[in-house]
Amino acid sequence: MSEKNRLFGARFRRRLTNAAVYAILSVLALLWVLPIFYLLYTAFRVSPSTGIINRLFPTGLRLGVDNYIRLFRDTDFPRWLGNTVVVATTSCLLSTAFVLMVSYALSRMRFRLRRPIMNALLVLGMFPGFMSMIAIYFILKAMGLTNSLVALVLVYSGSAALSYYICKGFFDTFPRAMEEAATIDGASQPVIFLRLILPMAKPIIVYTVLTSFIAPWCDFIFVNTIIAERSKYTVSLGLYKMINAEKNSFNDNFTVFCAGASVVGAIIVTLFVSMQRYYVEGVTGGAVKG
């Protein structure tokens, strides 16, 4: 076979491989986008009783904002959304502070139990949080904290330090010469952390903020276990209770449920898109061996 034919065959195989890869990626992208399209499509449906649960695309397409009006007028969605924002924001601030302090201590300080503590935190972080749900409930009940937003904040931020490894890997990339020079100039460890390290750690701070915010924002299991009072519902529990309030309420309220889900999703998507660059920098910067 001549050199020209070999080059043509290699080029043809490469194009065929690329075409197959693009076809697979296109199918996966379609499968990923279809539920989002269906959610938005259903949220703008005018009539809730159109059999939309049983048929993907009902006949007689008519769009409107009636479902969003019903969502804010006929339900406690504004209160649920406010509770979720309070819990998610407070938990995010506490979790970010815990993660940054623990990660910096494990990255920069050397002490006898450093390695065992890191291993223990890593192993504990591998267990799903819902495994401790019953024990946490009884502990909160003994403390009189059930059915309160404070309990949710404690649950979400209490285990934040278990996610230290990405942030620690980011701090490991900082040269120690900077801290040594600051120490020679008389700076203490807290001053070095607050005035030298944190200003350079913006990507990992944004990454930690986003990951700490999205967990309480989307959680349902712990909220359903701890909260029973309607005024304390978060968005996930409130929408669940609304759509299952009565035997026949699922079909009637499904479009309103989709409207609420689209609002919740739009907020978190906007947050991620606005901070996407720093989020990627934080992940890649922390993906080093510590």
Task: Kindly tell me if the per-residue pLDDT of 53 is higher than 60.
Answer: no
pLDDT at 280: 59
Residue 229: pLDDT band (50, 70, 90) is confident
Which three-class secondary structure state does DSSP give residue 246? coil
Task: Kindly tell me if the per-residue pLDDT of 210 is higher than 50.
Answer: yes
Q: Are the C-beta atoms of residues 172 and 55 closer than 8 Å to each other?
A: no
pLDDT at 290: 44
Which range among 4-8, 177-181, 206-210, 286-290 has the greatest average pLDDT? 206-210
pLDDT at 248: 65
Task: Kindly tell me if the per-residue pLDDT of 288 is higher than 50.
Answer: no
Q: What is the average pLDDT score of the chain?
A: 80
Q: Is 285 exposed, middle or buried (CB count within 10 Å of its CB: 0-12, 13-18, 19+)?
A: buried
Task: Kindly tell me if the per-residue pLDDT of 52 is higher than 50.
Answer: no
Long-range contacts of 154-157 (CB under 8 A, 24+ apart): 155/222, 155/226, 156/87, 156/91, 156/95, 156/212, 156/215, 156/216, 156/219, 156/222, 157/90, 157/91, 157/94, 157/95, 157/98, 157/212
The whole model's pTM is what? 0.79
Residue of higher predicted confidence among 25 and 165 = 25
Distance between CA atoms of residues 63 and 82, nearest Å: 28
Residue 246: pLDDT band (50, 70, 90) is low
Task: Kindly tell me if the per-residue pLDDT of 89 is higher than 90.
Answer: yes
pLDDT at 159: 79
Task: Kindly tell me if the per-residue pLDDT of 91 is higher than 50.
Answer: yes
Q: Are the C-beta atoms of residues 136 and 155 closer than 8 Å to each other?
A: yes
pLDDT, tens digit (0-9, with 9 covering 90-100), for 6-23: 666 677 788 888 889 999
Residue 51: pLDDT band (50, 70, 90) is very low
Which range among 92-101, 110-119, 155-164 has the greatest average pLDDT? 92-101
